[in-house]
Chain A
Amino acid sequence: MKEILKLVDISKRFPGNQALSSVSVTFHENEIHGIVGKNGAGKSTLMNIVMGIIGADQGEIVFKNTKIENAQPKTMIELGITFVPQKLRMLNTLSVAENLFCGNLPKNQYGIINWNQVYKKANKALSSMGLDIDSKISVQELSVEQRTMLIISKAVLYDSKIIILDEPTAVLNKRERSLIFKFINQQKQKGISFIFISHHLEEIFEICDKVTILVDGKSKGTHQVSELNIERLINLMIGKNIGSYKRQNYINNKKKVLEVKNLTRRGYFEKINFNIHEGEILGICGLGSSGLNELMQSLYGMDRRGIGEIKLEGKAFKSGKPSESMKQGVAYLTHDRHENGLINFRSLAENITVSVMNKISNFSLISNSKERDIAIDQIEKLKIHPPDFEKTIDLFSGGNQQKIIFGRLSVINPKLMLLQEPTQGVDVNAKNDIYRIIENLSLDQISILIASSEIREMINICDRIIVMNENRLVEEFTHENFSFEKIMLSMEQAHS
């Protein structure tokens, strides 16, 4: 097999973070090359460098034996490298055919578009790709897997040599996944190489020929998938870049705070049953496709609940909106801080007190001193740095932004906190701080539910861990018998 793209000793440093340190990978024609690694391992940085979106500090990119100097997005696209992002972007108001031929529609000799030809050609192209889609319909009517396949088809039709797939299966179920895999395998036969990024290790074994493991910005080598098994892969992925914080005391309180019975929502999760006790830290591990995100948002009342029963301290908890949930003592930390966690352009104090405006105001007139007191109190408790309550939140580091949001949650005095990926996009020291904060909260008798894919860190902090896989809760571990490998296997493997 011929080499097509070679990355040699790539390093990249961001302020306060060595994202990649001399990573070398070689991609060949006709292969599907998996890249695995946890969040923050450097996968997206590496791909951004390949696409020319950011430049590497060191190292070189070699495409078909020619060194690429000063790679720009345009040059990389022209070389035939296509990036398929997780959130697919298409011309949503237009037809499949037009998406396929955007910018270059088939025309007759007078330069006039012949729509019959357009649809015919599009249908032909699609069926040559093994796709059965009517090119006349709007892309909005396509399902996610059809859209993914359409984008791949387009890349293939336009002579792409390398197609990078960023977690293409994150929101798909098994049947849809196997459709995409079958499709990718067909395209591979045409001499196209795929770079496949996934959290789902089972998928690597299902589809990839080779796999490169990234841990904390370093490569742990490229392996033939046939020579690996999932346990070995999991072993290779364990890194050091996790919070080393270790839980001090475990809780032994049997007072139930939250009871969830048979919670079922069409398309996302079914028959969810679990309890949380007072002051307990319960972890739920699951991949993006497991329905975990939707479960958390449904519990908070941001999204539809579906059917089933939820009880908070013995009473039915039927909140349909966030303000109601907070009133009843449930707080929520989102996994996407930038999208729906921060109130941009506003000060630290405003961000902390946003949910407790009634506490800082009399007859809806805000008292600056009360606001300041609450903010300063949280700054001290959470060690937010710099301790400037008037500073705009956008100017804080990721770790401190996350602490500020923790401050927002704790000032409402909740009984239960729902945390999604509490340490995402945060450096190691801040991670330890955040876990200390979480444990302190639990000592205040606040029950905490953490949804995360950082198993190592969950093991260090949780009382119990339950695993969600394929829209169901599948296994429960207590802190006496936590095991990274077992939890990961349970998360990744198919349960029948």
Chain B
Amino acid sequence: MRFLNLILNNLIWFLVISAFIFFSVASDRFLNPVTISNILISISALGFLVLSQSYTFITGNFDLSVESTLAFTAMVAALLIISSENGGLDIGLHYILAILIMLIIGIKIGLFNGYLITKLKVNNLIVTIAMLFLLRGLTYGISPGTTVSFFPDGFRWLGNDSIMKFSIDGFRGKLVIPVSGVIVTLAFILAYFHTKYTQFGRNMYAIGADKEIARNNGINVDRTVIIVYMIAGLCAAIAGIMIAGRLNSATPTMGHGIIFTVHAAAIIGGMSIYGGRGNVVGAFGGVLLWAILDTGLNIMRVSPFWIEVSRGLLLLLAVLIEAIRNKYQQRILTINKFSRSKVGQEDQFYWKYS
């Protein structure tokens, strides 16, 4: 019973470990430095998007617009930095300023979303769907219709550079520690600290659990939710920098459709769309699982299309397990509630039904 509980409560890490072991056994090309490096790279942008989603999930909200925020901010930066023969506007802005602008735009978009949702009381799901269209359209609109390519090296540092490379005896290829992988890990650690050890983070959980009670306890609900959306926008912009840096280009279709993957990774990591539950560490597990599956299945020459299918099935499995867990916990609660009751003790199988 306790073992079962242990597994159910840390499901994501069991999945991560078993996926890792599975691929190590199933393919002799999995457990080597190159693969590990690839996993570290592929957790980066996805990780930031999952982080943005985790924040909104904790407060019981959605932000579907992040994938468009990512594309929009990246496109703006590309246009500002890159020369006209490569598709830019020939402004030649310094890349640090461009990155700053990206981050500010991301935050502003979040502010706008948050304002509409809290102050104007528009449904968060639909608002962010509308923003998803709006920003994607804007991205297409401002783009020259082609790919804007060739960023300066400084801009690409975050997405493409590595902190260190070293070879390990007995393996071919070098273990590359990418900047992006390190940054995303740091971001998750920071986010864990923020959500667990600061008043603001705990306010987020309280709002997700029950908005009214949070308000009655003096928490400024609207302000908190707006800030959460701003953080989500910021994370999306950082993901934009990473993807643009890695591809060395910005396209209007960047990140298109990734939001479904992001939701799936967050949910399988234990985040709940009902708010007040889950933690960002679990979400990080979700990201890792995604990256491991992606890389592992790739190495095993599974068609990328099957990878897509397997992700959906995995998500279904995760919800199924959650549904079973809820039923199981419900039963425990029923037993606890009635086992001590002196009324109607002849009725012995009371927990079998309800």
Contacts and interface: CB of A to CB of B under 8 A. Distances in A.
B346 interface: yes
Contacts of B218: 103-104
Contacts of B219: 102-103
Interface stretch (B111-119, B205-213, B252-260): B205-213
Interface stretch (A1-9, A17-25, A262-270, A385-393): A262-270
B5 to A, nearest CB: 13
Interface string B187-202: 0000000001111001
Contact of B350 (A77, A103, A112, A266): A266
A113 B197 contact: yes
Nearest to A102: B217
A270 B213 contact: no
Which of B213, B277, B333, B344 has the most chain A CB within a 10 Å cutoff? B344
B2 interface: no
B211 to A, nearest CB: 10
A85 to B, nearest CB: 11
Interface in B199-239: 199, 202-203, 205-206, 208-210, 212-214, 216-219
Contacts, number: 107
Interface stretch (A86-94, A183-191, A213-221): A86-94
B199 A107 contact: yes
Interface in A106-150: 107, 111-113, 115, 140-141, 143
A96 B206 CA distance: 12
A424 interface: no
A268 B203 contact: no
Interface stretch (B63-71, B172-180, B335-343): B335-343
A303 B197 CA distance: 44
Interface string A155-195: 00000000000000000010000000000000000000000
Nearest to A118: B202
Contacts of B210: 89-92
B203 A103 contact: yes
Nearest to A262: B346
A210 to B, nearest CB: 29
B202 A98 contact: yes
Contacts of A98: 202, 205-206
A309 B348 CA distance: 16
Interface residues of A, number: 34
A304 interface: yes
Contact of B333 (A103, A113, A140, A471): A140
B285 interface: no
B344 A102 contact: no
B347 interface: yes
Contacts of A107: 199
B326 to A, nearest CB: 12
Given A98-B206, A105-B199, A93 B277 contact: yes
A304 B354 contact: yes
B199 A291 contact: no
Interface in B318-354: 333, 336-338, 341-348, 350, 353-354
A214 B225 CA distance: 44
Nearest to B219: A103
Contacts of B333: 140
Contacts of A265: 344, 347, 350
A267 B206 CA distance: 32
Contacts of A112: 197-198
A314 interface: no
Contacts of A291: 343
A140 B205 CA distance: 16
Contacts of B203: 103
A143 B333 CA distance: 10
B276 A268 contact: no
Given A91-B276, A92-B209, A266-B350, 14 more contacts: A89-B213, A94-B205, A103-B206, A115-B197, A143-B337, A173-B341, A264-B347, A265-B344, A265-B350, A267-B344, A303-B354, A304-B353, A306-B344, A307-B346
27 contacts: A89-B212, A90-B210, A90-B213, A93-B205, A93-B275, A94-B206, A98-B206, A102-B202, A103-B218, A104-B218, A112-B198, A113-B197, A113-B198, A113-B202, A115-B196, A143-B336, A143-B337, A264-B344, A265-B344, A265-B350, A266-B347, A270-B346, A291-B343, A306-B344, A306-B350, A307-B347, A471-B344
